Every structure is written in structure tokens, then in C-alpha cells.
Structure 1
């Protein structure tokens, strides 16, 4: 049987791949309906708003995990990470690379494991 920590790691990998692929259907399965998503600039989205924005315009071109730590206990897990993002910003259209630190909280949601909270911040004063 797979450990909770390993299950969370797999879900995180799936989430990042779905972001790059703009797979809103897969993200819908991975994210809890009660998700609160705090962007590095402080903007807060619900799951519905977050996915609706991604469906219109996905800025994620590439995401690399620089560092990741997963702590799991009692059916929940906290992921702390540093990610290197390559995103499309406009106007004018340009690719921008920056690093963020993030905290993701995963929990049992019915029969599945879903992300219930996400918060990130820019590293090094980036203003993307």
C-alpha cells in the first residue's frame, strides 16, 4: 500500500503537469471544491475562479521543482516547496522566469486526496 506521503507527492506531480498542459479537467479532480488559492501577489481565488481563469488563459509554460518537503499525518499533508516558473506575461507578450515558495495542504476529501489550500510568495522581491 502506498504511503500518504507518497500519494501526496504523486498528486503534486500530477497537479504541476496539469498546470503546464492546461488540463482544467484534471485540476478539477485534484482540487477541493473548498479550495482557497493565494497567488504570490496576494490575490485570492476560489477553485471556480482559479479554474475559469486557467481555462481562458494558461500562463504556465514550465514548472521545475527546486525543493520540496512533504509532511503527512492523520489523513492530511503539508507540502512546502520552491518552484521555478516560466510564465507568459503580457502586454507586451514576454516569457518571464521567477521562483516562488509555496505551501500546499492536501486532505482526504471523500474517497480521494485533494488540495484544500495553496499559498505562495515570490522569492527575492520578484514582481511578476
Structure 2
């Protein structure tokens, strides 16, 4: 909690701070605080009403499904299967470049991701990326 809100939440501290202000300024602060509290209360009530409406609709749909002999779990299981079909893994990218690493092993690179150190060093020494093309 911030220092300001801690002060507002502590009556003793609030009394001490209020001695520094005139009564009309304190009344103006009170009005503004009441506006903030009212707005917050309305937001909370709206969220609660929305949650109640959603719960009522879910109960109504559950009843309709049961009247038609449909188990709600069957609907969900059908959606899970369809979602897993959509998440197909893409094929790996073909290699574009070939290089020899520090240990003398010939390797290939797709051109994506971090540049291999052997290619990076060669590029710094004046070689071109086209020198490594397959």
C-alpha cells in the first residue's frame, strides 16, 4: 500500500495531517473521496451483476442441454479434439548455410536465430554471408 493510502487508512495519522489544512479544503477532499468511493462501488456492483447474469445463463444452458440429453462434458471434449488438430507443428526450416566450426566439424545453419560463432567471426574478418550459402 502506498504511503498516501496508508495515511488515509490510519485515523491517528489522518488527524495529524488534517491539522495542516483549512476546513474548506478538507471538505473538498472529502467530496472527491466520496466520488471515488461511489465510482468504485458502482464498478463492483456492475461486475457482480455481470457475474450473476453469466451464472444464470450457464445454468439455463445446462438445463437445456440436459433436457435434450446432452452432457456438457461431451461438448467440451469435442472442442478439445478440434483445438489439438489445429495446433500442428510446422516443418523445420531447410538449412541455407554451411560452415566448419572450431573443432573442424561441418555444420549447417538455417539463417534464423543466433549467428553461429564460426560464421560471426568470419563475417568480422571480411567474409560475406553468401560465401557460406549451400
TM superposition score normalised by structure 1: 0.17
Q: State the structure with bigger RCO (CA 8 A, min sep 6), 1 or 2.
A: 1
Select the structure that is richer in strand.
Answer: 1
Q: Which has the higher helix share?
A: 2
